[in-house]
A and B are shown apart, each in its own frame.
Chain A
Amino acid sequence: MNILSLLIFLPILFGALVIVLPEGLRYIYRYITLLATLLQLGLSVWLYIAFKNGVNYGGVANEGQYQFVEKIHWIALNLGSMGKMQIDYFVGVDGISIMLLLMSSVVMVIAALASWEINKNHKGYFALFLLLDMAITGVFCSLDFFLFYIFYELMLLPLYFLIGIWGAARREYAAIKFFLFTLFGSVFMLLVMVGLYFSVKDPATGAHTFNIIQMMNPANYDKDSLFGFIGQHMLLGLPARSVGFIVLFVAFAIKIPVVPLHTWLPDAHVEAPTPISIILAGVLLKVGGYGMIRICFGIFPEVATSYAFWIGLLGMISILYGAFNALAQRDLKRMIAYSSVSHMGFVLLGIASQTTEGVSGAMMQMISHGFLSSMLFFLVGVIYYRVHDRDVYSFRGLGTLMPKYTVFIMIAFFASLGLPGFSAFIAEAFSLIGAFNAGSILPTWIAIGGSVGILLSAGYFLWTLQRMFFGETKLKGGEVWKLALVDISNREMLVLVPLSLLTLALGIMPSLVFVKINDSVLAFVQFIHLNN
């Protein structure tokens, strides 16, 4: 059995188990889910260790260089005069996907541990959770556009219910906003996908194909096809390839999210229950970044280069806009949601720079942010779970009341604002290095603007620390709250300590990440410069 397929479908097997078991044993579902995610984590770690490095394993545009590949002819219909339809079950990993797989496995374990606080409809919750797990893993592994699209859409369904049923006060609004917004982007992606299908021929079989890697190769395009290079079809006044790029960019930009397509994020993150916020911030945003690299930039590299200035500008705007918004928030969870927007701006800036340092920094930022945002949302969830209030102004002097909690908050905050010794410093530094180095496509002022973001992140995090944790203890709920606010339990320690250690490890030994992604990043950058 191919290990990637096992990794993808493992959760759904456990999901079936959850559905089959009777409702009375409701507390067993948590353990089943935890077991599923732990098994997935084990598999991912094995994949990480077994992943080979070296120039021959770069991947990206080279189909033979992907690892743990499984390619099965899935749907092969003979459509008579229109040729043969070929959709493959094609999964594989290269440097760009492997680290994201590992990170999402870790985040899923954390989310499973955080799901202890769910108190209604356990069966439905955990079944949907495992479905989501499968979809996310599938997205990172698929190399066939059709398969990718299936998993990508499949992610939306469980999230809609998870937010809409187990969320907070405005959950229905947030769920539907999230669902429709994201769907809007991906619907147009479907059109581009079909257009690409008809433009590309698989050299091996001569049929049209959804194979992403084949779509990256200009030689595979039919001369007169819609997205062909030579034909230069026009669509709505722009070259068809530009339109394709813009549509795909919008689809993934909604996910990353890029200002101004980000307004679903604060509502979705805030209204979702803690474990779902962790998954949303930790993994879902990275799906956008991954899609941007793999599909958007991979299939339309020359358009990406010509629009690089705008993409970089959007990245810088996201950084600053997200940070300023976070400064103005009172709700702690909303502040962290906006800080996620800001941090993902670094990812976009790094990718737009099209330099090795920039793209490496962007990938590192995705992984680092995955861990850090999980930690941040989990920490917010701790307080919310105890007193059902997230307003910064309701608390003062929590440092004396919950000292261990304060230590973890300080680790999370200082790591997020880029203190050296933690992963985010390396990530942000290299994204900015990339931006500074891209002198030919990005003006220096964009990079300088991005750097100011680190100042603003210090602003809102330190303000929160000072306001909520230091000073004399004064709580809005008075004595009732003082009793409710117990320090961190063992289960919560089990979540927070590994996350802290991970971010510290990545800060001190970034080679843990870089050694796996270097070859692919190099291949990616070379590919873009080649197809310019």
Chain B
Amino acid sequence: MNTTVPHTDILTIQLAIAAVLLPFVACLLNLFLVKGQSKVSGWLSTLAILGSFVLSALVFSKVWNQPALHVQQLWFTVGTIPVNVGIWLNNLSVLMLLLVTAVALPVHIYSIAYLKGDDKYTRYFAYLGFFCFAMLALVIVDSLVLLYAFWELVGFASYLLIGFWFIREKAVLANKKAFIMNRIGDVGLLIGILLIYSHYHTFDLITLFGDHNILSSIPADKTWLTFTGICLLMGAIAKSAQFPLHTWLPDAMEGPTSVSALIHAATMVAAGIFLLGRVYPLFTPDVLTIIAVVGCFTAFMAATIALTQNDLKRILAYSTISQLGFMMLAMGVGAYSSALLHLAAHAFFKCLLFLSAGVIIHEMQHLKEKHNLDIDPQDINNMGGLGKFMPVTFITCIIASLSLIGFPLTSGCLSKDGIMVQAFLWADGKGWIYTLIPVTAVITSLLTIFYISRLLFKVFLGKPRITQPVEAHDGSLLFKAPMVFLALCSLFPLFSSNPFEYEQSWIYKGFAIAVHIVGSLDYHTIVLLSVNVLAIPIVFLTYRAYVKQKVSFKTGLLFKISYNEWHIDWFYHRIIVKGVLYVGAIVLWLDKNIFDGIIHLFANIGVIIGKLTAWTDKYIIDGLLAVLTSIIKQAGNFVRGFQTGRVQNYLLTMLLIIVVIYVLKTFI
């Protein structure tokens, strides 16, 4: 522990640690001590999160716009290299701390009612607590290794929660997809972290990215920096569901809606943006441009897809992807503070949208069971006219939608306008191709207006599309209170005293750089006016299309492309997944026939040599012996021939020998 840190700061750090650990304690208690369906688990977790929220607020008040706090302790040593665990509390950390707990609290309260009666009730709250712990830890750690560790754990928590109802086939396919796609990003993140370590030999975030960081003082090779930046960016792209690693998010909607609200709208997906915020000094201008392009493209693409989807949660999922694209765009064009402002604003209104979606789906499910209908409770084509039955839900939804559109007087206006204005300022004087980006952002805004109005009109207004009488109502207080709270947070007073000047927002001021850029045009008013003025005809158009049903958009190539989500998922499934499996099959073939084949070849050669040797032994070596014996046998047979048994032969032989001897003796 740093001994030069004053006492109050140590207390703050301890409060922060407590804020992070409370949900984990609740998780452990729920896993091991509380019985399966007991209601205690819900209240226990909620209490823990409330405690976290209070502590986070305290920590926030101590650290916001104050000097950052940092403590570090040795975790383990590898050789002579120390690996430390530590806490770094700066503006970004405490804002995220507060934000996550502020959104998690209403979701916990909502979940108590939403998952009532589920036989894995306790398990749900255990997982939720684990997620909160991992997410909160992610935002306060000071080392890249720990960042990576909690990043993965957040992904793991998401896996558990998406697949919470693991009997459903779609849910388990979705969580597998989510984890694997996130892993792709994780590989990039890991490579980036290790590359940084190989150059600077430290994992410490403060040394690398803090106020007087290494990156500014030691010049590094541009290409290597760009490559590392792209690797880190990959992690953010996967976690924040940007193109091309975005297809897991719509499928992740298979999880409970409260999970979608917390994780896949407000917090986990924002972790990617948080990462970009943390490692921001690393990015070279090239990487920043790439970030901007990725964000802008994703925003546009997701908005076009959201136009035609029929599943309520899917529309919201694509909306999330689109808004995250905006945040990424903001990071890319240098609007660091606006990105974080939008992150905060988005967390509240998107969470709210999801929670209301949960209530709506709940009611549709009741209707389905009551009248025994064969409908999909999440399909907006089956809804309609619910506004008059569920006024609270309706009004909160409107507020959230207005914030999403960026209507004046909401938080979204502040953040979104800020992003677009700064995008224009960034593109100013850079060439026409750069201007495409802010222009696309504006178009995406308009598309956002369209799809969200479509959603509102189809769900809440007009006549109900089911023929049976519709009975629906708002949820209990446990449903309503969180939603109202979030709705209030979506209005401007929480963020800024001035509803139109985003620079006045306290979040913005917490991160802003002192330099104030002046553009060639007064973008403030242009953007504000253009978006809001154009909003009116768009809303009117959607009203005519979906309420009055006088206009139809169902046909056309663009519709088909949008409806099929640009065929990206099809591409991934058919080409990439099947490609990888095909490589696996080839490698297996290689293993069985070539590598093992060589071994079997050697084995067979051995056997053949053995047989050859046996043959040689039997026929050649033994054969020689046989030849020898036959020669002797034949010699013997020949000599035997002399014993004819005939006396006269014997006599003749004797005579011949005597003659021969006589001749030999006389003449030799």
Contact = CB atoms under 8 A, between A and B. Distances in A.
B457 interface: no
A420 B150 contact: yes
B194 A432 contact: yes
Interface stretch (B60-68, B179-187, B373-381, B557-565): B179-187
B389 interface: no
Contact of A436 (B163, B194, B587): B194
Interface stretch (B168-176, B296-304, B328-336, B477-485): B168-176
A429 B145 contact: yes
A180 B605 CA distance: 14
A128 interface: no
Contact of A328 (B150, B156, B197, B584): B584
Interface string A460-492: 001101100111100000000000000000000
A177 B187 contact: no
A444 interface: yes
Nearest to A518: B79
Interface string A156-181: 00000000000000000000010011
Interface string A374-391: 000000000000000000
A514 B76 CA distance: 7
Contacts of B180: 455, 458-459, 462
B148 A324 contact: no
A327 interface: yes
A360 B79 contact: yes
A471 B172 contact: yes
A451 B187 contact: yes
Nearest to B163: A470
B587 A357 contact: no
A413 to B, nearest CB: 11
A470 B175 CA distance: 11
A366 to B, nearest CB: 15
B595 interface: yes
A478 to B, nearest CB: 19
B588 A510 contact: no
A235 to B, nearest CB: 23
A471 B587 contact: no
B163 A514 contact: no
A60 to B, nearest CB: 13
Contact of B76 (A325, A470, A509): A509
Nearest to A425: B149
A518 B78 contact: yes
A455 B245 CA distance: 14
Given A455-B187, A511-B75, A518-B78, A465 B596 contact: no
A397 B78 contact: no
Contacts of A197: none
B580 A459 contact: yes
A324 B75 contact: no
A115 interface: no
Nearest to B178: A462
Nearest to A522: B79
B169 A472 contact: yes
A328 B78 contact: no
Contacts of B168: 471
Interface string B484-509: 00000000000000000000000000
Contacts of B581: 327-328
A287 interface: no
Given A399-B166, A444-B195, A471-B166, A356 B78 contact: yes
Contact of B78 (A177, A458, A471, A514): A514
B79 A462 contact: no
Contact of A356 (B76, B81, B171): B81
Given A420-B148, A451-B190, A455-B180, A360 B591 contact: no
A420 B190 CA distance: 12
Contact of A439 (B167, B198, B580, B595): B198
B79 A356 contact: yes
Interface of chain A, main secondary structure: helix
Nearest to B172: A470
Q: Which of B187, B584, B585 gathers the greatest number of chain A CB atoms within 10 Å?
A: B584
Contacts of B153: 419-421
A321 B176 contact: no
B599 A263 contact: yes
Given A325-B587, A462-B176, A518-B77, A451 B191 contact: yes
Nearest to B597: A263
Nearest to A263: B596
Interface in B584-642: 584-585, 587-588, 591, 595-596, 598-599, 603
A86 to B, nearest CB: 35
A420 B78 contact: no
A242 interface: no
B167 to A, nearest CB: 6
A486 to B, nearest CB: 20
A459 B184 CA distance: 10
A447 B198 CA distance: 11
A397 B194 CA distance: 39
Nearest to B156: A419
A419 B172 CA distance: 19
B27 to A, nearest CB: 13
Contacts of A262: 595
Interface in A401-436: 414, 419-421, 425, 429-430, 432-433, 436
A521 B588 contact: no
Nearest to B231: A448
Given A327-B581, A471-B167, A432 B190 contact: yes
Contacts of A264: 599
B80 interface: yes
A400 B167 CA distance: 8
B179 A436 contact: no
A436 B195 contact: yes
A321 B81 CA distance: 32
A465 B176 contact: yes
A152 to B, nearest CB: 21
A438 to B, nearest CB: 9
Contacts of B587: 321, 324-325, 328
A280 to B, nearest CB: 18
Contacts of B171: 470
A262 B598 CA distance: 12
Nearest to B149: A420
B184 A466 contact: no
A433 B584 contact: no
B40 interface: no
Contacts of A463: 176
Contacts of A329: 588
A484 to B, nearest CB: 21
B512 interface: no
A326 B580 CA distance: 12
B166 to A, nearest CB: 4
A521 B77 contact: no
Interface in B66-119: 75-81
Nearest to B203: A433
Interface string B136-177: 000000000100111011001000000100111101110110
Contact of A454 (B77, B186, B585): B186
B584 A470 contact: no
Q: Which of B183, B184, B585 gathers the greatest number of chain A CB atoms within 10 Å?
A: B183
Given A324-B583, A327-B580, A510-B75, 15 more contacts: A177-B599, A181-B599, A262-B595, A266-B591, A327-B581, A327-B584, A328-B581, A420-B148, A437-B197, A454-B187, A455-B186, A459-B580, A471-B167, A509-B76, A511-B77
12 contacts: A260-B595, A263-B599, A324-B584, A324-B587, A361-B78, A425-B152, A437-B197, A455-B183, A463-B176, A465-B172, A472-B169, A510-B75
Interface of A: 177, 180-181, 259-260, 262-264, 266, 321, 324-329, 356-357, 360-361, 397, 399-400, 414, 419-421, 425, 429-430, 432-433, 436-437, 439, 444, 447-448, 451-452, 454-455, 458-459, 462-463, 465-466, 469-472, 509-511, 514-515, 518, 521-522, 525
